Chain A
Amino acid sequence: MASNIAVTELDFATIKQNIKTFLRGQSEFTDFDFDGSAISVLIDALAYAAHITAVQANMSFNEIFLDSATLRNSVISRAKELNYLPRSETAAQATVNMVVADVNDPSSINVPKGTKFSSTIDNETYIFSTVTDQVLARVTAGNYAGDVTVYQGEYQQSTFTVTSIIDGVIQNKFVIQDTNIDTRFLTVDIEDTKGASSFSWVITDDITDVSSASLTFYLQEVENEHFEIYFGAGLIGKQPVVGNYITTDYLVTAGVDGNLVNNFTLISTISSNEVNYTPNLFTVTTVDKSFGGRARESIAEIKVMAPKYYETQGRAVTVDDYKVIMLKQFPEIETLSVWGGEEEIPAQFGKVFISVKPIYGTTFPPTTLDEMEIYMQRKNIVGVTSEIVSPQLIYVNIISVVKFDGQSTTQTEGQIRSLIQTTMFDYIDNQSEVFDQGIDFSPTISKIDTIHDSIESNITAFSLSHKFIPSTTVNNDYQFDYANVIDPSSVVSTWAGVDTTTAWELKDDGLGILHIYKDGILFLSNAGGVDYAGGIINLSNFLPDVATNTTFSLTVSPISNDLLSRRRALLVAGDMTGINVYDSSKVGGSFEAILFNDLTDAQKAALGL
């Protein structure tokens, strides 16, 4: 990105000197003493004037371009030239389950748009609302239940009466009073006159399907973070006439503050089937805590996104197009990965895969994923299909032996170990959970050394794990992408049998074949394969002898110290229990000798010992 533009000198002293130098160069001033008291005062005054003008000139010049502009209003104006509408505040969403009984036994119970729920986090109370009508299904006679999606915020209204401005020009633009609105839920209804029948007008950002009679409106951000609706002036959309009464409904939200809420209390009375259901009749439980809340788009974000969005022209062709269009349309996405089917393993031509991660979460609800898929089908090339897939989490484990000087601290060995484990979990957590972003090894080991003053050195390695719950009734195939080259003979998974006494182990033979061992004896050869270079493990017909819903961890050592991420693989912080410490002031003997006493074989192998 280019830096701000310096079009003229801004330093006062230099300006003053420049004035003197310039005047000395003029024939009529060659014999002037510019350092004399009177003329010096005069030059000071002129230099101040020049300085102020120079500042204004620089400001004005910089605000012309998107890349150099610093004022939000200027950036917004430049973004308008690119047909880019910056993201508004984005309400966090959560899913709650509602249960209610009604002896009248209606076929279903409707939870209307605007139904409110109260919740508290960090002693702050937040209101969540439904943004559409939702239905509780009849489970058994007189009993109703269903999942309901709620968004943080309360509905507010701004109303306007269309007036004539001057010379018969009809008012066409209306500024919404509230600033913290989530524009995704903005609706506009217009009545011929106040109290008459209303018609819903729909928002559009694509004028190709709009006629002069279309009931459409447009939205843009204006000064001071307000949004403004405007109409097509009877050319690209119908123009409201004088006297029309406009009602705008929108959700006012706290944005990012509404995340991670997991307790909800219904506070609205629900009217359905001509019956009023008071809040106390409902049982509300949290299905998904709130996520996806986001602040309005920052100046820096707009500078990046607006040109990219302009390049898409609303068409998803390249991988970057998909990314930009998805991020623009679904602000609740924190990070995403897009790859063509030609890069999928095995290749699936004619497909584009999109993996998305929400803010404060790792997966979206299936309904949201379906909504994304449907939206992208309208944007991509005919013949190409989009498939939204959930991220595949790769847990990053740290295996480390840390040497510290116990005499230089009052902390115990256990406290130091716990401190390192907690700190490194947070460190990896902050480095990860972004698609296509790896973790570098060198800063990681440096980080360990700086956690506590008593730490002297460390020997460290990464390992990577996939976690999954295999079927215990059906032979299934599983594929795991580690996104990194796998060290041969490093694949391992252990589990206890149903009888809890049998020790099972899955290992590779270093030649790309997986074998299963029972109590240390080969039980099943060729249980799958390992593509070491490709970083892929395939389990074939896997049916373990294990209790139902047992989570498996399949761990490998990467060959490279630095970790990579790709496609749907998302690195996340994993197991830190492999971090061990020893007190160099108490323990004698060599470093390596001590390690061999404390580490498992797998840990030793990972550390190259």
Chain B
Amino acid sequence: MSYLNENKKLSIITQRLIPEHIRFKHPNFVAFVEGFFKYLEEDGNPYSVVTNILRTADIDKVADEYLVYYRLQYAASIPERISNDFRFFIKNVQKLFRSRGTEASFEFYFDHVFSSSVEFYYPESDILKLSSAKWEKSQYWTIVQDIENDAQYLDEQILYVDAKIQGDTSGAIAFTKGVGAFETFPTSGVYVYGFEIDEKSIQGEFTNGEDLTVIESENTIPTSYTHLTIDTQYEWPGTYPDTRHQTSGRSKLRDNYYYQEFSYVLQSPLSADVYFPYMKQFLHPAGYLMFGEVVIISEVPEQGYGPEFGTIIGYRPFVYAKVDPDPDHILGELHASYKHNRFIRYTQPWDMHTNGEAEANKHTNTKGIMVRYIKDWLETPISFFDTNSAEKMVLTASHVTL
């Protein structure tokens, strides 16, 4: 059996190679030579090997058994089990080498070697630093939607978070930070919503009563959602968005081990024992301290509630919290600002019960949720505003029972 291309075979041109008088007088000899050529052309025999040698120099054509030599030449320190498509990997391995030490290189390695994922946490970001407080000042606008002209009311407030809006009349521009829920049904046919506006982002002067247009958004906003009008612009006093600057807050003192500038944490479903040796050899930047954390990722449906999901290996992936806010603020409805952090975007509003308790149904519109961030959430105050008083209140862990 030969894999030689037909036009490269010697055996088929034997007749032409041998003079006619010999072919005529010694047919057996010709057949013998032809048979010998066929032997040489057999796969693995000399002529076949020599003729196919150029294929060996092409990684897309080389036989699988010789791929190891490509690995030894171009990716000697990469484990043999790398990638399902080794040929593709070798052709792109230089990009991996050039990016070593970056998050992208870790993600690539986890994906191709361990068929897993990795996230990053830098303890340095939680170190208490003097004068590191951020001071934010926001405006709260009530936005009116005339549903007589809209097919749907604004029940997808999430779409308006981090959106760039423009006043149709004034031409002024601003960015939204959060969007309040729809608890208010003030008058028939009109809905009112709360937009939290980053005051620093306001360019120009919006006027009450002018229509708004979303001109940029990370989300695709249906055209039927666009009839928005500014009702009233309230200005909130400034506030600190988090407790990072407070000694009583979540920040940590530098400990020259975990909490220092040169440490990083790999968060993966894998045990650190599995990937540490590879990371140390291949990706870990010398001088840094690497930690590993096992994270548990649970696939959950979008409209789930806490208790029915129970626990996962001792952790509660969802929090079903009863909130007992400051009674002074339970005059009207509470609107929860949408909360952002690295992994979770809380999409559900807070429901007000008749008994004065608010229930928080926090879940994510992403498919995964990492339990450690529930803890983060509890340590990070959530801002509310009271639609009656237009005052801002802060809900902290002290208001929440799990």
Minimum CB–CB distance for B124 against chain A, Å: 10
Minimum CB–CB distance for A409 against chain B, Å: 52
A5-41 interface bits toward B, Cβ cutoff 8 Å, 1 = contact, 0 = none: 1011100000000110011001011000000000100
- Contacting B285 at CB < 8 Å: which of A28, A66, A317? A317
Q: In the complex the two chains form, is B289's CB within 8 Å of A349's CB?
A: yes
Q: In the complex the two chains form, is A66's CB within 8 Å of B286's CB?
A: no
Minimum CB–CB distance for A1 against chain B, Å: 7
- Asked if B39 is at the interface of the complex by the 8 Å CB criterion, the answer is yes
Say whether, besides A53-B46, A347-B289, A349-B263, A318 and B35 are in contact (CB < 8 Å): no
A344-385 interface bits toward B, Cβ cutoff 8 Å, 1 = contact, 0 = none: 000101111000000000000000000000000000010011
Q: In the complex the two chains form, is B257's CB within 8 Å of A347's CB?
A: yes
- Asked if B56 is at the interface of the complex by the 8 Å CB criterion, the answer is yes
Q: In the complex the two chains form, is B50's CB within 8 Å of A53's CB?
A: yes
Q: How far is the CA of A307 from the CA of B69 in the complex (A)?
A: 11
B198-216 interface bits toward A, Cβ cutoff 8 Å, 1 = contact, 0 = none: 0000000000000000000
- Asked if B36 is at the interface of the complex by the 8 Å CB criterion, the answer is yes
A308-328 interface bits toward B, Cβ cutoff 8 Å, 1 = contact, 0 = none: 101111011111111000000
Binds B, one of A175-183, A333-341, A549-557, A591-599: A333-341
- Asked if A70 is at the interface of the complex by the 8 Å CB criterion, the answer is no
Minimum CB–CB distance for B226 against chain A, Å: 47
Looking at A9, A53, A312, the one whose CB has the most chain B CB atoms below 10 A away is A53
- Contacting A384 at CB < 8 Å: which of B38, B66, B75, B286? B286
Q: What total of chain B residues lie within 8 Å of the partner, measured CB to CB? A: 48
- Asked if A121 is at the interface of the complex by the 8 Å CB criterion, the answer is no
- Contacting A311 at CB < 8 Å: which of B44, B45, B57, B76? B76
Q: What total of chain A residues lie within 8 Å of the partner, measured CB to CB? A: 59
Q: In the complex the two chains form, is A28's CB within 8 Å of B31's CB?
A: yes
Which residues on the B side are within 8 Å of A349 (C-beta)? Answer: 256, 260-263, 287-289
Which residues on the B side are within 8 Å of A23 (C-beta)? Answer: 32, 35-36, 39
Which residues on the B side are within 8 Å of A64 (C-beta)? Answer: 53, 56-57, 69
Binds A, one of B187-195, B266-274, B276-284, B359-367: B276-284
- Asked if A67 is at the interface of the complex by the 8 Å CB criterion, the answer is yes
Q: How far is the CA of A318 from the CA of B45 in the complex (A)?
A: 45
Which residues on the B side are within 8 Å of A316 (C-beta)? Answer: 286
B368-397 interface bits toward A, Cβ cutoff 8 Å, 1 = contact, 0 = none: 000000000000000000000000000000
Minimum CB–CB distance for A143 against chain B, Å: 47
A65 to chain B: closest residue by CB = B69
Minimum CB–CB distance for B280 against chain A, Å: 8
Looking at A39, A318, A384, the one whose CB has the most chain B CB atoms below 10 A away is A318
Which residues on the B side are within 8 Å of A5 (C-beta)? Answer: 66, 69
Binds A, one of B97-105, B177-185, B314-322: B97-105
Q: In the complex the two chains form, is B76's CB within 8 Å of A22's CB?
A: no
Which residues on the A side are within 8 Å of B76 (C-beta)? Answer: 307-308, 311
- Contacting A317 at CB < 8 Å: which of B40, B94, B100? B100
Which residues on the A side are within 8 Å of B101 (C-beta)? Answer: 315, 317-318, 381
Say whether, besides A42-B32, A347-B257, A318 and B285 are in contact (CB < 8 Å): yes
Q: In the complex the two chains form, is B69's CB within 8 Å of A310's CB?
A: no
Q: In the complex the two chains form, is B38's CB within 8 Å of A26's CB?
A: yes
Main secondary structure of the interface of B (DSSP, over half): helix
Q: In the complex the two chains form, is B74's CB within 8 Å of A61's CB?
A: no
- Asked if A222 is at the interface of the complex by the 8 Å CB criterion, the answer is no
- Asked if B352 is at the interface of the complex by the 8 Å CB criterion, the answer is no
Which residues on the B side are within 8 Å of A312 (C-beta)? Answer: 97
Say whether, besides A307-B72, A338-B286, A8 and B44 are in contact (CB < 8 Å): yes
Minimum CB–CB distance for A181 against chain B, Å: 28
Name B122-159 residues within 8 Å CB distance of A.
none
Which residues on the A side are within 8 Å of B288 (C-beta)? Answer: 340, 342, 349-350, 384
Looking at A68, A340, A351, the one whose CB has the most chain B CB atoms below 10 A away is A340
Name B63-109 residues within 8 Å CB distance of A.
66, 68-70, 72-77, 94, 97-98, 100-101
- Asked if A213 is at the interface of the complex by the 8 Å CB criterion, the answer is no
Q: In the complex the two chains form, is A350's CB within 8 Å of B94's CB?
A: no
Which residues on the B side are within 8 Å of A68 (C-beta)? Answer: 69
Q: In the complex the two chains form, is A22's CB within 8 Å of B281's CB?
A: no
Minimum CB–CB distance for B4 against chain A, Å: 13
- Asked if B400 is at the interface of the complex by the 8 Å CB criterion, the answer is no
Q: In the complex the two chains form, is A340's CB within 8 Å of B286's CB?
A: yes
B76 to chain A: closest residue by CB = A307
Q: In the complex the two chains form, is A350's CB within 8 Å of B287's CB?
A: yes
Minimum CB–CB distance for A338 against chain B, Å: 7
Q: In the complex the two chains form, is A53's CB within 8 Å of B47's CB?
A: yes
- Asked if A50 is at the interface of the complex by the 8 Å CB criterion, the answer is yes
- Asked if B172 is at the interface of the complex by the 8 Å CB criterion, the answer is no
Say whether, besides A23-B39, A29-B32, A317-B101, A342 and B53 are in contact (CB < 8 Å): no
Q: In the complex the two chains form, is A352's CB within 8 Å of B287's CB?
A: yes
- Contacting B97 at CB < 8 Å: which of A9, A19, A28, A311? A311
Which residues on the A side are within 8 Å of B280 (C-beta)? Answer: 318-319
Which residues on the A side are within 8 Å of B36 (C-beta)? Answer: 19, 23, 46, 50
- Asked if A166 is at the interface of the complex by the 8 Å CB criterion, the answer is no
Say whether, besides A5-B66, A28-B31, A65-B72, A313 and B94 are in contact (CB < 8 Å): yes
- Asked if A54 is at the interface of the complex by the 8 Å CB criterion, the answer is yes
Q: How far is the CA of A26 from the CA of B35 in the complex (A)?
A: 8
Q: In the complex the two chains form, is B53's CB within 8 Å of A57's CB?
A: yes
- Contacting A1 at CB < 8 Å: which of B50, B72, B100, B285? B72
Q: How far is the CA of A352 from the CA of B69 in the complex (A)?
A: 33
- Asked if B42 is at the interface of the complex by the 8 Å CB criterion, the answer is yes
Q: How far is the CA of A50 from the CA of B283 in the complex (A)?
A: 49
Which residues on the A side are within 8 Å of B97 (C-beta)? Answer: 310-313
Q: In the complex the two chains form, is B287's CB within 8 Å of A311's CB?
A: no
Which residues on the B side are within 8 Å of A18 (C-beta)? Answer: 39, 45
Which residues on the A side are within 8 Å of B75 (C-beta)? Answer: 307, 311
Q: In the complex the two chains form, is A60's CB within 8 Å of B53's CB?
A: yes
B36 to chain A: closest residue by CB = A46
Which residues on the A side are within 8 Å of B40 (C-beta)? Answer: 50, 53
Which residues on the B side are within 8 Å of A320 (C-beta)? Answer: 77, 281
Which residues on the A side are within 8 Å of B53 (C-beta)? Answer: 57, 60-61, 64
Q: How far is the CA of A315 from the CA of B72 in the complex (A)?
A: 20
Which residues on the A side are within 8 Å of B74 (C-beta)? Answer: 82, 307, 310
Given contacts A67-B69, A319-B286, A384-B285, 9 further A-B contacts (CB under 8 A): A5-B69, A7-B44, A8-B49, A23-B32, A54-B45, A65-B69, A307-B73, A341-B286, A350-B288
Can you list 15 A-B pairs with a CB-CB distance of less than 8 A?
Answer: A5-B69, A7-B44, A8-B49, A18-B45, A19-B39, A50-B36, A50-B46, A61-B49, A67-B72, A82-B73, A308-B76, A315-B100, A317-B283, A340-B286, A349-B287
**Which 6 pairs from chain A and chain B are nearest by CB?**
A349-B262, A340-B286, A53-B46, A65-B69, A57-B49, A307-B76
Chain B interface (Cβ < 8 Å from any Cβ of A): 31-32, 35-36, 38-40, 42, 44-47, 49-50, 53, 56-57, 66, 68-70, 72-77, 94, 97-98, 100-101, 256-257, 260-263, 280-289
Chain A interface (Cβ < 8 Å from any Cβ of B): 1-2, 5, 7-9, 18-19, 22-23, 26, 28-29, 39, 42, 46, 50, 53-54, 56-58, 60-61, 64-68, 78, 81-82, 307-308, 310-313, 315-322, 338-342, 347, 349-352, 381, 384-385
